Amino acid sequence: MIASIAAVSKLFKHLVMPAVNVINAVPIASFTILALMAMDSSQLPVFVAFVTVMPIVFYNTLKGIESTDPALLQMASVFNVPWWKKALYIYFKTVAPYVVSAATVGIGFAWKSGIAAELIGIVRGTIGASLHTARIHLSTSDLFAWTITIVLLSYCMERLFRLIFRKVMKWQSN
């Protein structure tokens, strides 16, 4: 949504880009500690994952919108195509590969940053808390087991996303 507005309004883009660049540059640990001062630790993983993934999705979506073929947009204007049809049939098809790329990278980053936030915030009953316990007890087997679990969860979530996306693309092309 923010990328869509930034693609339309140069002023908004110039206003939002420094903030997105700062969010992108701040280390996950710093965000987690700052957020922990402002919110309950149970909300921390979702917030940190969002803040970590948002710049990835923003940059990719903006690039996808900006790379839309101007000739297609001009043709749509000549034939008075409604904005929602332009969005669905022109922008969606152009932006889709960029969003898939962002989501593929973003899912992995969301898991990493969310679990780092759980570990730093010591959120009870979470994978991050279990990693923290494994670290305290020097339990390498637990550490590897949780790491493998995280990798498998991330992989399954990415595959599920791609499956849903393929179904949406197939539905959209009909």
Q: Assign residue 116 the CATH number of its domain.
A: 1.10.3720.10
pTM for the model:
0.84
Domain span at 56: 2-173
Q: What is the pLDDT along the chain (174 residues), one digit of tens a residue?
A: 899 999 999 999 999 999 999 999 999 999 899 999 999 888 999 999 999 999 999 999 999 999 999 999 999 999 999 998 998 889 988 999 999 999 999 999 999 999 999 999 888 899 999 999 999 999 999 999 999 999 999 999 999 998 998 888 777 666
**Backbone conformation region of residue 134, classed left if phi is above 0, alpha if psi is from -120 to 50, else beta:** alpha
Kindly report the backbone phi and psi dihedral angles of residue 67, in degrees, each rounded to the nearest multiple of 5, phi listed first.
Answer: -95, 10
**Backbone conformation region of residue 100, classed left if phi is above 0, alpha if psi is from -120 to 50, else beta:** alpha
Q: What is the count of structural domains for the chain? A: 1
Q: Is 28 helix (H, G, I), strand (E, B) or coil?
A: helix
CA distance 90 to 77: 12
